[in-house]
Amino acid sequence: MKYALITGASRGIGRAIALRLSSKYKIIINYCSRADKANEVKALIEAQGGSAELLPFDVSDSKQTDLALSSWEENHQGEYISLLVNNAGIRKDNVMFMMSDEEWREVLDITLNGFFYVTRRLLKHMMPRKHGGRIINVSSLSGLKGMAGQVNYSAAKAALIGATKALALEVAPRNITVNAVAPGFIDTDMTQDLPKEELKKLVPVGRFGTSEEVASLVEYLSSDDAAYITGEVISINGGLYT
């Protein structure tokens, strides 16, 4: 069994990805504050015969990230994380002229800096390996087309797309693929405050997507069948934006 680290795996899309991949990987559940939810995911994975462990750290803190991953490596001599899913992210929506420094900084710190700190650290062990690895970044429809009231979120997710394409070129010779998925409106706790009935009218298929549908796409990109796919951004938005 290989190891997969999913950041922000205690809830929503990250939770669904962790559960979906647990038949093929030993799952490392990253979270920052919701230990109760992370333990729920761990218990569910173990109940269905999988293996999971918790690795709490704040992805936006480079020192904390390095310490946590160094500790994991010390406790898993000779092993490495072959799949990284950069899922951690938050929304702090506001119109730009009223947006605070904190609302701007926190969203970019977690989504973009978090990607950088975690990925940089794991590449040191992924690149020398014969079998390489997989890196999958969870971007967003907002990063492709922009969304009013989400200048911070759109900026972070768009930057993640650019980083995905550039990194894919750097590590392709090392048998590492780097791709992004870009969900549209997905039914999670992050979208509970949105006017769903109004937004559903904008989606050609007439509904929000599910976390499990996103997880299924991530599962495919992590598989051997997707070894020739890299540098891609795959939308999953019910036809809202193509």
Q: What is the pLDDT of residue 93?
A: 95
29-48 pLDDT, tens digit per residue, is: 999 989 999 999 999 999 99
21 vs 220: CA distance, rounded Å = 10
Chain centroid to CA 14: how far? 7
Q: What is the pLDDT of residue 203?
A: 96
Q: What is the pLDDT of residue 130?
A: 87
Residue tagged active-site, from 117, 153, 228, 241: 153
Q: What is the pLDDT of residue 234?
A: 98
6 vs 136: CA distance, rounded Å = 10
Is 17 inside any structural domain? Answer: yes
Is 242 inside any structural domain? Answer: no
38 vs 46: CA distance, rounded Å = 13
Question: Smallest Cα–Cα separation from 237: which of 146, 172, 142?
Answer: 142
Query: Are 126 and 133 within 8 A, CB to CB?
Result: yes
Give residue for tokens 């599910």.
210
Domain extent for 67: 3-236
Is 92 inside any structural domain? Answer: yes
Is 125 inside any structural domain? Answer: yes
220 is catalytic: no
Is 168 inside any structural domain? Answer: yes
Is 132 inside any structural domain? Answer: yes
Give SS3 for 82.
strand
Is 241 inside any structural domain? Answer: no
Q: What is the pLDDT of residue 193?
A: 79
Q: What is the pLDDT of residue 191?
A: 78
| Domain CATH number, residue 121 | 3.40.50.720
Is 108 inside any structural domain? Answer: yes
Q: What is the pLDDT of residue 242?
A: 84
Report the domain count for the chain.
1
- Using 50 as the pLDDT threshold, list the residues of the chain that sit under it: none
> Angle formed by the axes of helices 12-21 and 35-47, to 10°?
20
Q: What is the pLDDT of residue 88?
A: 97
Helices (H), the chain: 12-21, 35-47, 62-74, 101-108, 114-126, 141-145, 151-171, 196-200, 211-222
Q: What is the pLDDT of residue 50?
A: 97
